[in-house]
A = this chain, B = another copy of it.
């Protein structure tokens, strides 16, 4: 079952292959310039720090639906171990096994492929079981620090949480941008709040996962026109799931990661940020969201922070 023509039409509209040269491996992160970083720093006015990562726990957001994407198994390899003999300083150490996309994370550019291709036309088989992503790996990304803008779609709709079937449209983004009081511009990282994470925070893991509101297949064009550097939101599926077009699974993933070369973030906790932005009346901030640099990684945990 090949991808439908509708997908290919959208793909052509947002494609960035070759835009930053044939060897480019970082895609829209090229849009973050030193000027962008300076502008981001200028957003820090009161000195608030808002963390955006969920705790990494055995009862995290994964439900077992995706084999291999396991919640963190955190174990102690030493507990108050007196390494140098009785009465000496004691150490506690720990280890973890987890899916790189299990919690608050960035999808790397190799997380999806279609038609045998990755971003910038690289062959999909450049990802191997042995070495992971031999091109476009997350370890090659520059530090993701930019101006962040919260597009609080739930709040713009006057609700805590969008309903399950809600596909976030370009019109929704426009309305949230209006609420934000700032215009999204080149190099920005956009955080789209649906409120769906409230389900997880309320202990409803299955309901959080699926069905889920999320980005419409029409939004990649919006992000492309604004030359956004990256997009993250507060859902597990990122895009509306089940999908809008029957049989077209994960089109937003394919458009962002493969066609645009744009990072996507999932399971970001935007609840406190929503409150803070509303209180301060400011929705732009310095966002620091550096991917853990796993060599060959198709994704990476991240502990983002917004500074306002």
Contacts and interface: CB of A to CB of B under 8 A. Distances in A.
B75 A77 contact: yes
A41 to B, nearest CB: 4
Number of copies: 4
B305 A83 contact: no
A26 to B, nearest CB: 13
B88 A77 contact: no
Interface string A113-131: 1100000000011011110
Contacts of A98: 95-96
A186 interface: no
Given A34-B48, A68-B75, A93-B99, A292 B292 contact: yes
Contacts of A303: 143, 290-293, 302
A219 interface: no
A292 to B, nearest CB: 5
Given A51-B290, A76-B298, A77-B69, A250 B89 contact: yes
Interface of A: 1-3, 33-38, 40-42, 44-51, 53-59, 64, 66-70, 72-81, 83-101, 110-114, 124-125, 127-130, 132-133, 139, 142-143, 145, 249-251, 253-254, 286, 288, 290-299, 301-305, 307
